[in-house]
Amino acid sequence: MLTYEKPLEWVANPRAGTIATSLAVSSTFPDGVFEEARSFHRQIPGYRPSPLRNLSSLASMLSVGGIWVKDESVRLNLNSFKVLGGSFAIYRFIKSKLGLDGQDLSYDELVSEATRAKLGDITFATATDGNHGRGVAWGASKLNCNAVIYVHKDTSIARIRAIESYGAEVHVIDGTYDDAVRQAGVDAEANGWQVISDTSWEGYTDIPRWVMQGYTTMLSEAQEQLAGTGIVKPTHVFVQAGVGALAAATTGFYSSRFGADRPTTVVVEPSEAKCLLHSAQIGDGEAHDVGGDLQTIMAGLACGEPSEIAWDVLWDTVDAFVACPDYVAAKGMRVYGVPLSGDPFIVSGESGAVTLGALMFAADYAEFHDLKESIGLGPDSQILLINSEGNTDPEYFRRVVWEGANSVPAEYRWSPEVELLD
């Protein structure tokens, strides 16, 4: 009888390989939107592309062609990619409110007193596990607007304080992230606030779509950085998921750019919040919720209810859905933090590191040969990972990296004698 949870639970999605052109992708990411998002973000003071790290030594150890990490831990000194989506959604919302759809609005004009006077009093509201709320609070502060951010009861004090540092009011909800989403919506309607959410529901799709479009700036950057090394595109992308917005932005970007020749994509989520894997297992094309208390160290991915518009993109474009227990994310954090000789040191939080952990188990262990074969992982594979966050919860980061919290079960610990795949 097993006394531990296996590191990978997975299901293939072969239908994605039959779809050359996805209506969900084309409607969510229309022509020109990647350029629009990148143009806006370039105007933000302090903007610079986040680095693309090359883990060449680890790639050799795993017998793959290359491992490339888009390191969002340094994005605008906010420790996460989330600001890209929140800021672009606020920008698009304000353009729409001012009747400027289809017209140019510079960043300087956006944050000007003239624009503020036209807008009147606006309060932005959202629910978050930490990083999205911090991005929205940052955006609101640049506009001198109020922000009210809802977090669930298990959100760390460090993440709450980071949100409050931008002048936002934080409400702690006695429930899960999904409960916080619902309460934010109820209170926003009652108070006339504007919700800036990365998840969608019936009647609320424009802003989550703009959030996903904003995320694509980092993919545009990654493509330029890969091109500088002579790589046209990655062959594989491992991307983490909560409600699915980041994953949909990633697969949507590559499907728009490359059609049927897009990279093979693997979506990774926590075992305790595997709403996308669950939806794929049901296989009826609909998004399905999972219940439970969603207890996982991967706070940014602790979501039981998928974004419906994100799911539509994922169902058409993802080749495999994977769920992992917490120890997989913890292993990824430690590998990033104690790299092989020649590889760069990367600070990665729990949600940022799970894809590296998943890749290592998929590439290393004979038990997961079927997964490796299904996605075609091999010596010519050039794999893109996204370190979606840095050290956003210092106390728990130290518990994992210093004290070995969430250690890998003995049955799955690496050793020179471990049975590796050829």
- Cα(295)–Cα(380) distance, rounded to whole angstroms? 37
Question: Which of the following is catalytic: 6, 70, 71, 82?
Answer: 82
Phi/psi at 247 (5° precision):
-60, -40
CA distances from 340 to 146, 183, 296, 361 (A): 45, 45, 28, 17
Respond yes or no: is residue 129 known to be catalytic.
yes
CA-to-CA dists, residue 51 to 8, 73, 349, angstroms: 29, 9, 17
The answer to whether the beta carbons of residues 135 and 87 sit under 8 Å apart is yes
Token output for 98: 């001012």
Yes or no: say if 161 and 130 are a contact pair by the CB < 8 Å rule: no
Q: d(Cα 168, Cα 149) in Å, to the nearest integer?
A: 7
- Main-chain phi, psi angles of 103, to 5 degrees: -115, 160
Strand order in the sheet with 194-195: 169-173, 146-152, 123-128, 194-195
Q: Are 323 and 362 in contact (CB under 8 A)?
A: no
- In angstroms, the CA 59 to CA 368 distance is 18
Place of tokens 């990083």: 131
Annotated catalytic residue within 6, 70, 129, 364: 129
- Tell me, what DSSP letter sits at residue 340? P
Whether 82 is a known active-site residue: answer yes
* Residues identified as active-site: 82, 129
